[in-house]
Structure 1
Amino acid sequence: MSDTPEKLICGQCDLVLEIPRKEGHFVGYCPRCHNAVHHYRVRPSKVSLCYALSAIFFMFATDSLPFISISAAGIEQGMQVLDYTTVLGAQNMWAASFIIFLFMQLLPLLTLLTIIAGDLGKILGKRFFFMPLLLKILHFNVEWSMVEVFMVGILVSLIKLISLVSIQYGAGFWTFFAFAIFYLLAVSRFSEEEMWNFYVPHTKTPGSRIPESGIRAEPQDFCACSCCGEILDIRTETSCHRCGTGIRDRSSQSLGKTLAFTLAAIVMYIPANIYPMMITTYLGSDSESTVIDGVIVLWGMGSYFVASVILIASIFIPIMKILLLLYLCWSVKKLRKTRNRLFLSVIYRVVEFIGKWSMVDVFVVAIMATIVRVQNLMTIYAGSAMISFAAVVILTMIAARSFDPRLLWGYGRERKNAGTSRDTGEGTPEDRSPDENAVPESGKVPHPA
């Protein structure tokens, strides 16, 4: 084992850190911005493989077994979990059908196949040639998979229906929850870093420069690969020598892209609240309801919990995401007057975390429209606002991904400040404020004892 400590660059504050050699299960945090940067896991390949195999078994079982059936006035209507594709298609909602299928079925399946292939190769000692490509798209698949959001959507739909019709739960209902649990466990225990180190090991050229720990990477002319996390010397490299990803300065256009996607989300949010989200046909009479109408009706029916969930997911979270994204962009422009950069980093992580949860209402409408089709009695159709609302969620998620959190810590200042020494990495005084930039002398990643 080499005596040279392994290092990484924090993706949120650009600090160079050493990775201590530890055993057991821990999470390492950046001492500057408190972002989780490294995970110590016990036998990650074997554990995540077992979870992934279980998840994919329950996924196929869910797709083939009866999911839910309802009965009202002696009429029974059942559904399987994938019936929404044909039902929404028949209602000319092919775009919504594809979005749900992509987020709930296709991307989770690709994620599980990547985990299974990667873990099998690691355990068997075989380096599959296709694994680097799968690992490059794994992060996208995980981020945009919405299995847990769909699970909450099912629960909300059932609470809305339980007072209107009689509900019977099929075997597919229970296997879906087993699939969701094992999927989340497989993703949480899978180690991308271990996979990259196995399939494409680190290669160091003799005499190559090594970044100094405890200070930012940019003044030293280093950066982290946006795909595999490899530390790259931007003086001599134009692309990652491990995964082939080109080196690009995402910070240069970060604010412009974030503002553009955020403004687009604001535009789409208007029709999402004006036009009907759901149309209910009861005994031949149509009733349209917007998002806020659904909250009011549920509150009036005494379904306070469901009304609160819809209010938070469909009204509060989208507005909060938009406002927080605008605030982060404004904070970058006023950074010299901003002292609490750690607080801004926490805000960014909150925006990233809540990004997908607004999709709950879209899933609820899809489930309701699929299962409530009791002929001559009651039928639910998806409204035109469903597409607009899904667009709001997608646009805000893209806006959050476009924002470069390193800007909150003064990233890019050295290129504009001629008085800054790029070789020593001293930076400007405001970029090294003692209260927020202080790190351990060794620059090591701290971890729970």
Structure 2
Amino acid sequence: MGALTGTIRVPGDKSISHRALMFGALAVGETRVSGLLEGHDVLATADALRAMGAAIEKTSDGEWSIHGVGVGGLLQPDQALDMGNSGTSTRLLMGLVASHGISATFTGDASLSGRPMGRVIDPLGQMGAGFEASPGGTLPLMMKGSLPAVPITYRLPVASAQVKSAVLLAGLNTPGVTTVIEPVPTRDHTERMLKGFGADLSVELVEGERHIRIRGEAELKPQTITVPSDPSSAAFFIVAALLTPGSDLTIENVGLNDTRAGLIGMLQQMGGSIELLDEREIGGEPVADLRVKHSALKGIEVDPQIAPSMIDEFPILFVAAACASGVTTTSGLEELRVKESDRLSAMAAALTAAGARVKETGDGLIIAGTGGAPLPGTSGEPVTTHLDHRIAMSMAVAGIASSAGVEVDDTRPIATSFPTFETLLAQAARD
């Protein structure tokens, strides 16, 4: 594949798209959303909200219209809610159901059904919700909401925006004040957007920890939302352009929320040429256009404190590291073992199959780069993606940066988060 040039725009941010649908479904009146990511995960959220009473449709001008039921107005779904591959849909919707007087059964595909839900079951159980989960606290799972639910103060045992959001969403319909204490900051889209919808939410820094308080029995007001481009999706094109000689690619309207933009700083630290153009704010979220040029990267030691701000981008960072000069060391990444796959083991195996030199540790990878030379690529067996969209896309980029190419076993999971990935990649290489 040739150099990546010209200007592209990647799809809307997945995290913000999920939340725009959910909060619109809880507002009274019509919320309109432009730039919504139309991948399988987000559409699973839309289907579940429809099943609980919200009216959600795509309009003729490409925007999405959501007529909400109001906080406390969710209806009993007639059948199981199929979450597909989406952990975000599952955990956040569990939070919504927890403080409504309804029951819901959550199901998912093989990958999602292996992921732990105990971290959400624990705090929601403290608020009064009841659960019947599969062995190991996994899906299929039936839960019964509590009305009224009990407000709690919950300290997150692990850095997880999904767990934080689930508790805050349960707090929306819970009398009194629900508090989440966050020792390590995670992505804050929930807090930003809830305040935008009119929730009584405050964030206070107490001895270095974020105390997030939400007053329940809220009334959310409908909004008009423009979803910025997803930094996690832009990440694949950023790394592809950095690694491909002759590349000079501009990626428009990328969300640069501090809790999400860690990868850009890491790649700049590695020597990557990434220029932020026209920095601005849209709907309470900072955005910019990114101009990315081919660069000689060098290995670094990644500070584990940065992990929450780029947790989904580590697979593609590993690809960049495999093509850099010197050694890149990562640690503190236990969370990657309970994503759509065990992303540490999966990426170690996939990159090794493509000819990279990788050592897996308990909480990270140590990668000795090629010094800027292409990876050898795979020969024979395709690499295993474990039905994980980010593994598949990361290894597609590794294929671009290889001599013989990289074959992956299944590209279908890419549609869960980035249905136009292959088309955009071909467009960028053709421009």
Higher helix proportion (structure 1 or 2)? 1
**The TM-score by the shorter chain falls in which range?**
under 0.3
TM-score, length-scaled by structure 1: 0.27
TM-score, length-scaled by structure 2: 0.28
Higher strand proportion (structure 1 or 2)? 2
